[in-house]
Amino acid sequence: MSAFEDRTVVLAVGGGIAAYKACEVARLIVKGGGRVRVAMTRAATRFVGPLTFQAISGAPVLVDLLDPDQERSYGHLQLARDASLFLVAPATADLIGRLRAGLGDDAVTTTALAITCPALLAPAMNTRMWANPVVQENLAALVARRWHVVGPGSGALADGDVGPARLAEPAEIAEAAARLLGPRDMSGRRVVVSAGPTREPLDPVRFVSNRSSGKMGFALARAAARRGAEVVLVTGPVQLPDPAAVRVVKVGTAEEMARAVEAEAGSMDLYVGAAAVSDYRPATVATEKRKKGEGDEHLALTRTPDILAGLGARFGGKAGAPVLVGFAAETERVVENAREKLQRKRCDLVVANDVREPGAGFGTDTNRVTLVAADGLTEVEGTKDRVADVVLDWVVPLLDRKRPRRG
């Protein structure tokens, strides 16, 4: 289940140019099944109209504390009662200072005074303002009161300056919010996830690879981190941003991926092999680009390391061993092939799908899978984030039975 499902996030929008990015934050929360209720400072409405947030959230926006209709139906006290999380984005220097001082002079600060839920700040301001000791003191005081902070990022600012204090990207803010809302049932666990394709070079220009985008493996890494795990993501070449709160190890070939996983295997509690590892590589690699010949050419291939099988041989069936989860991208006899893989590679679970099905193949944001275990099958479909959480829902009880928790 998404961390946002059946939860209410009160999004407090401060008066900065980055307020337009808060629209995307609201959209991501709604997309994840959450409810968004918005409070805005007067200054924020000069950058983004309340009607925009109302259209995204499907609910009225609180701006005017002295409007009897607003206060009666969805005032600041009601927002505070409903809130599962209070999220301030953007949190300007002025707004951070007023929150620190405990002022209650607008829709945002009065709501903040009444909350009892977790609170998350996403700072955004000019880089010189961010460097001001007063701003840093105000932020530190809020952190000491158990407020959480995401970002800021670094880069080009609206005024032309370049440096820190840029609002974190909407996906990063939503991810931080999800971590605060989701279960922490993987705290004290160390998880290794492999993701993406590998590339097996033929020469300095060409390589043998596959269509994997890495999206499923990245979703699993994000979900495990949200649930409190220490996560290492070993990934082949992909076009995806690094997940927050995850240590990323980037590799190219199957051999490199095998070495990277092996380096982490001794201390892991869970391995999730979501990577589409090339089964074969060219037997020889040319040092210069191969030139086109007149006739056909034959390419000799040799096997690459089987990462999951190696881990299964090392750990499979042993007391206190890590939980091993494999993936099977199939085009026929999906369940039968997954059952055979489960036994042959001595893993605990195989997540299988038919890559020819619409919405289930490489590169999509959705998936349709069957969880194949020794004691039964479970069919799951939805976004890859949802599938990731269902896989971990299955894994957590087994982890608790097999391995003592750290810390």
Catalytically active residues are 210
Q: Which residue has the tokens 């080009």?
A: 156
Closest C-alpha to 27, from 4, 60, 44: 4
Q: Give phi and psi for 372, each to the nearest 5.
A: -110, 115
Question: In this structure, are residues 76 and 114 in contact, taking their beta carbons and an 8 Å threshold?
Answer: yes
Partner residues linked to 330 by β-bridges: 354
Category of 188 on φ-ψ map: left (φ > 0), alpha (ψ -120 to 50) or beta:
left
Question: In this structure, are residues 82 and 37 in contact, taking their beta carbons and an 8 Å threshold?
Answer: yes
Per-residue exposure over 238-275, b if at least 16 CB sit within 10 Å of its own CB, e if not: beeeebbbbebbebbbbbbbbebbeebbeebbbbbbbb
Q: Give the sign of the dihedral formed by CA 149, CA 152, CA 153, CA 158.
A: positive
Three-class DSSP category at 324: strand
